Amino acid sequence: MYDIDTATYIIVGSMILLMMVGIPLGIVTLTVSIGTAIAYFGLPGLFLVASNAQGLLEAYPLVAVPLFVLMANILERSGVAEDLFDAMSIIAGRLRGGVAVQTTLVAVLMAAMTGIMGGEIVMLGLIALPQMLRLGYDKKLAMGTICAGGSLATLIPPSVIMIIYGLAANVSISDLFLGGFLPGLLLASLYITYIIIRCQIQPHLAPLPPEGVIGMAKAEKTAKMKGLILPMLLILWVLGSIYGGIATVTEAAAVGVFGAVVAAYVRKKLSWEMIQEALRKTMITVGTIIWLVLGAVSFVGIYNVIGGNEFVQGLLQGLDLPPLGVIFVIMGILIVLGTFMEWIAIAYITVPIFAPVVVSLGFDPIWFGVLFVMNIQIYFLSPPFGPACFWLKSVAPQIIGLMLVMFFPDIVMYLPNLMNG
């Protein structure tokens, strides 16, 4: 049988070859894991693949994923985003770039309600993009604001990506949510600061709205501010139940679904057809996630059994670099993987291997989890995969936020340490 070095080259080469011919990643990882299991253990190796998959599907926190996805799909159709955008329009006023700032603030609140990036970008695109283009905003600035603002859902709780990381690294999801809160607000602040400064330097990017658009009576402002009530109640309902120790993440997700249904009812958007469509989209999204996760977990399980985790950990720990240098190498690997792999597969393939290395170097896995999520955020925004868009340079560079979190870990650990005493 091949030694682990040779086996690793064969496994990685096989995966790249299968992906190059267009086979979906979930099938690639599952095929390679089955082939490796049979090569090392014969037909009984298939039981190892099945046991890995069974262990994942029995994980109670995983139930939170479809619930948060369903919550996001209901909110997408409830009209809450429109109310938020109207309420934030009070802030825009005569500020140059005000609508872009308004869009970023709405993105923060939507991220705190849903934790799903795709639906948030769609909602912002439908609501904010027409208004920015109508006012003469630069197209790249408008698109970049929406995509970068929408990507905050990866970092601000309740982030589905953090749930997946918590399951893969076997760490507290509640602590991850706490750890991601301040960096998420910091990144949003960087976006807003960048937008304001750039629009002052290059006024043509964001023309001021006509005088007639600005005038707003006090009664109208009050009416618009009422649009904040439902979203804020929903955020407090979900996150408050987690941080207050009332509910687990999974239970809070169920509470969030109920809250989303109530919000849709209050806004008179609740109907059987709307629920059916939300459930249909949830099934499609979750089906894709589960398929990718099953393939990745099966692959990592078999690779670890044949000694792959010790091999990779030995390589990283054997580097003639300081601990933070090893973290830079890991971040580089994640960025490279993000150019051709889905984030779910990246999480379940790399985190079980990298997390023990990070802990052995003296770093906190919660801190590393936030770094990991920020790398996934870069994956969403950067080509060639770039599911969000290719307009990253139109908004504050992601690398600034990543460096701040790397060199100032207290930004991540302040709230978890405060809550845990």
Report residue 382 CA to chain centroid gap: 14
Helix axes 117-134, 64-78, angle to 10 degrees: 20
**Is the confidence at residue 390, as pLDDT, over 50?**
no
Q: How far apart are CA 369 and CA 351, in angstroms?
A: 9
Q: Half-sphere exposure of residue 104, counting CA atoms within 13 Å on the CB side? A: 26
Mean pLDDT along residues 396-402: 48
In this prediction, residues 111-140 reach a mean pLDDT of: 77
Mean pLDDT of 185-213: 82
Mean pLDDT across 94-115: 82
Q: Contact at 8 Å (CB) between 171 and 152?
A: no
Angstrom distance (rounded) from CA 50 to CA 174: 29
CA 303/CA 212 separation, integer angstroms: 65
Give dist(CA 210, CA 32) in Å, integer.
60
Which phi-psi region, left, alpha or beta, contains residue 383 (left: φ > 0; alpha: ψ -120 to 50)?
beta
Given a cut of 50, whether residue 284 has pLDDT beyond it is yes
Peptide bond into 158 cis (omega under 30): yes
Report the greatest alpha carbon distance in the chain.
79
Tokens for 350, please give them. 């790399």
The pLDDT of residue 395 is 38
Write out the DSSP string of 378-421.
HHHHSTTT-SS-S-GGGS--HHHHHHHHHH-THHHHHHHHHHT-
Count of helices and strands (H, E) across the chain: 21, 0
DSSP characters over 269-322: ---HHHHHHHHHHHHHHHHHHHHHHHHHHHHHHHHHHTTHHHHHHHHHHTSSS-
Q: Which amino acid is at 202?
A: Q
DSSP 207: P
Higher pLDDT, 51 or 175: 175
pLDDT over 70 (residue 405): no
pLDDT, residue 415, reads 65
> With bands split at pLDDT 50, 70 and 90, how would you rate the model's confidence at 421?
low
| Confidence band of 180 (pLDDT split at 50, 70, 90) | confident
Supply the pTM of this predicted model: 0.79
Q: Is 225 exposed, middle or buried (0-12, 13-18, 19+ CB in 10 A)?
A: middle
> What pLDDT shows up at residue 394?
37
Give how far Cα 22 sits from Cα of 14, 286, 309, Å: 13, 22, 28
E strands within 147-296? none
Check the CA dihedral 332-334-335-340 and report its sign. positive
- Return the pLDDT at 392: 34
Q: Encoding tokens for residue 127?
A: 């609501």
The residue-averaged pLDDT of 187-193 equals: 89
With 0-12 / 13-18 / 19 or more C-beta atoms within 10 angstroms meaning exposed / middle / buried, residue 263 is buried
Q: Which residues contact 341 (CB under 8 A, 6 or more apart)?
A: 25, 349, 385
Task: Please give the torsion angle defined by the CA atoms of residues 133, 135, 139 and 141, in that order, rounded to the nearest 10 degrees.
Answer: -130
The Cα 160–Cα 166 span in angstroms is: 10
In this structure, of 66-70, 177-181, 192-196, 240-244, the range with the lowest mean pLDDT score is: 240-244
The kind and range of the H/E element at 225 are: helix 218-225
Helix, strand, coil: what percent of the chain each, to 5?
80, 0, 20
What's the pLDDT at 156? 86
Q: How many CA atoms lie within 13 A of 228 on its CB side?
A: 13
Percent of the chain with pLDDT over 90: 2
